[in-house]
Amino acid sequence: MTMEERHAHWRSIINDQSTSGKNIAAYCREIHIHTSLFYSWRRRLNEEPPRPGAFVELKPVRPGASGICLRLDERFVLEVDQGFDPSTLRAIVAALSRCSG
């Protein structure tokens, strides 16, 4: 199994658990995996940067807010309010691009 196949397999397990209505311990017992392995893969997959071309969820920070908030992961959150300075946004996106590799 390639690493990409392994990641896809664990993404499927994690997504199935979240939609199963069962808590993690019960779900893991049912499919015969250790909860520590489940948590380890969930953490590993949450730390991955978004894949190129992947969708990013946009949500208003405050009800009625006119800007956007980009939450790339726990480390990177970018809030853009109406009337933002485009050159500052370009500089921030460039800096984030350098950080992600």
Query: What distance in Å separates the CA atoms of residue 28 and residue 74, rounded to the nearest whole number?
Result: 26
Q: What is the mean pLDDT of residues 79-98?
A: 75
Mean pLDDT of the residues in the chain: 78
* pLDDT exceeds 90 at position 26: yes
C-alpha 14/C-alpha 8 separation (Å) is: 10
pTM: 0.48
**What average pLDDT does the segment 82-88 reach?**
75
Residues 64, 95 within the same domain: yes
Whole domain around residue 90: which residue ranges? Answer: 58-99
Q: In the chain, pLDDT over 70 holds for what percent of residues?
A: 72
* Total domains in the fold of the chain: 2
Section 29-56 average pLDDT: 82
Residue 53 placed within a domain: no
Q: Is the pLDDT of residue 49 over 70?
A: no
Domain membership flag for residue 78: yes
Say if residue 34 is in the same domain as residue 68: no
